Amino acid sequence: MSKQSLQHLTIASTIFSSFTENHVAAIAFVNQKGGCSKSTSSTHLCYWLNKAGHKVLLVDADVQKSSSRWLASLETAFPYEVLSAPNELLDQLPKLAEQYDYVIIDGPAGLTEATRAILLRVDLAIVPCQPTGLDLDSAGETIYLIRQAQSVRMGLPKAAMFIARAVKGTKLKDEAVRLLGKSGLPTLKAVVHQSQTIADAFGQGVTVFSSKGRASTAAAREYDKLFREIVEMVS
């Protein structure tokens, strides 16, 4: 190999290295489609990991700042950073990761350069997807970006989809499971259903893990199942 191409390879592997080398898991929720539950999932995963005793940081990459405002409103203080510029994400994510067990990134809506930057830095990309034809269709563009990152980073980030906001008892969910199976990404077994207790959580400054009542317990159980699968993927 020529000296020049060796140098090029070294630079590339430095740029595209993930946090795995530092034994930190960086997990991003990405999907260009708005409202598919990226911020809700990110916030709940941070809370869940923190309660499990891990040192976790939320990186809010969405200018709407939903997840960081949500974390700030919770009864316990959780660390977070707001980083929405692509260069900031590329530069800062590895530095921040040195101080935590997990870094959870809440991706922005839309196909942005920030999403590309995130995909160049994370170990695992999770794509929440609502079970409607429109949502399944637009998830394809996010999967395309993931594939591009994987081709540059020799297979990283790992990636999976899950069905979010599914309405219980509808056929759409079964059809979505079938269609997601064709997306080329694995589909996680856990499904998070549409539930009023999840919808209310942001406004009340809580997560379903800290709310009382049967509906919150059911939602917490769904998240628990989902997060176990997610953490398993980076273990």
87 in helix, strand or coil? Answer: helix
Find the shortest distance in angstroms from Cβ 11 to ligand ATP. 33
Question: Residues binding ligand ATP: what is the number (CB under 6 A)?
Answer: 19
Residue closer to ligand ATP (CB basis): 158 or 165: 165
Residue 37 interacting with ligand ATP (CB under 6 A):
yes
- CB 32 → ligand ATP: shortest distance, Å? 8
Residue 38 or 153 having the CB closest to ligand ATP: 38
Q: Which stretch binds ligand ATP (CB under 6 A): 18-26, 34-42, 71-79, 173-181?
A: 34-42
User: Rounded to the nearest 5°, which phi and psi values hold at 232?
Assistant: -55, -35
Other CB atoms within a 10 A radius of the CB of residue 15 amount to 12
Per CB under 5 A, does 66 bind Mg ion?
Answer: yes
Q: In what order do the strands lie in the sheet with 187-193?
A: 80-82, 56-60, 102-106, 25-29, 124-129, 158-166, 187-193
The tokens for 70 are 């949500």
Nearest residue to 40 (alpha-carbon basis) of 215, 208, 210: 208
195 contact, one of ligand ATP, Mg ion, none, CB 5-8 Å limit per kind:
ligand ATP
x-marked contacts with ligand ATP along 151-180 as a string, rule CB under 6 A: -------------xx---------------
Residues 6+ apart with CB under 8 A from 128: 29, 31, 36, 37, 38, 41, 161, 162, 163, 164, 192
Interface region with Mg ion, contact rule CB under 5 A, candidates 30-38, 45-53, 153-161, 171-179? 30-38
